[in-house]
Chains A and B, each alone.
Chain A
């Protein structure tokens, strides 16, 4: 980003980029923060406290091997697309009780990536329900923990009962290119919708 330290710089010359955003959703411990970290050009930022204190008794970390903490607010990263366009990735808290935050995040979003742990499919139901209801373009992405997926994709699609039009993919949250491709899948959906609704160029 351009440094704006010089006192004579006019606000107009420092016009900030147009921000766009993609929501990264999913249950607790599915790899949302990892996903953001893999591709963000800044270390993911967090606004609030760790779940180990604030979420005690609500989030159950015992089913997730090695998972000690998560964030109760949101964490996010960004990608500078070009000098006048910046893509933000917002990882949403997966728990129902933070639903208050989702409307805020989803408003104006290009689309959403719903991350799924194939061992705990039901964790992503709230997110899938939410984006379906909102008619926000979304893609379901199964995180390949340790390179493996516990169920076949057709089984997962059946279990989630998502429309055939909703892409169901596998990806590796730790791998930058894999995350990039997952985001591109979301953008393809968003583009389909934009072309369908025929939003004229402004």
Chain B
């Protein structure tokens, strides 16, 4: 799955990555960098993604990701963030959890997960778009919450 930088980025994708870049630029400009928080602030997201932005809107923030057998086998050959993701997802994780655990920007995780999925290292379980309006699903959630005491 190739995500070359689009000539006309989808509005969602562009918007996802830019505020973060602005934030990093501000830190660098005013010398406040020491307080920049997570280390990911120093690695510009586009360096991790070779300048690409996520275009695959299907990978939602709650999308579940699991490492495949192939990904497990390939784990040690992968580099840096890619290896981290494949290692982490031996237990199913959401995209949001991957971003939080590895301190990576969500946009970066989307791109990398898309790549790794395309290469067969990860299985991506796209959320059921109808779940939000499915009566049975809602009733299960309600029952589950009521059980919390």
Give me the interface of A with B, judged by CB distance under 8 Å: 1-5, 7, 10-11, 14-21, 39, 45-50, 52-54, 72-74, 76, 78-82, 85, 87-88, 90, 97-98, 100-101, 103-105, 107-111, 176-177, 180, 183-184, 187-188, 190-191, 193-195, 197, 199, 201-202
Contact = CB atoms under 8 A, between A and B. Distances in A.
A21 B72 CA distance: 29
Given A85-B140, A90-B96, A197-B133, A49 B91 contact: no
B138 A194 contact: yes
A85 B23 contact: no
A19 B66 CA distance: 13
Contact of A202 (B32, B61, B134, B141): B134
Contact of B130 (A16, A107, A199): A199
Given A108-B60, A187-B142, A202-B128, 19 more contacts: A14-B66, A16-B66, A19-B62, A39-B148, A53-B36, A54-B37, A76-B96, A81-B141, A81-B144, A85-B144, A90-B62, A104-B60, A105-B61, A108-B129, A110-B138, A111-B132, A184-B145, A184-B146, A188-B142
B127 interface: yes
B52 to A, nearest CB: 18
Contacts of B46: none
Contact of A184 (B15, B18, B104, B142): B142
A4 B71 CA distance: 14
A72 B100 contact: no
Contacts of A104: 12, 16, 60-61
Contacts of B36: 49, 53
Contact of B135 (A11, A105, A191): A191
A94 to B, nearest CB: 14
Contact of B137 (A20, A184, A197): A20
Contact of A11 (B38, B66, B91): B66
Contact of B19 (A18, A97, A108): A97
A100 B19 contact: yes
Nearest to B128: A18
A180 B145 CA distance: 7
A18 B99 CA distance: 19
Contacts of A194: 132-135, 138
Interface residues of B, number: 63
Among B72, B142, B143, chain A packs the most CB atoms within 10 A around the CB of B142
B23 A49 contact: yes
Contacts of B60: 104, 107-108
A85 B92 CA distance: 13
Contacts of A72: 23
11 contacts: A11-B123, A17-B92, A18-B127, A19-B127, A49-B37, A54-B27, A74-B96, A82-B140, A87-B145, A177-B149, A190-B133
B133 A193 contact: yes
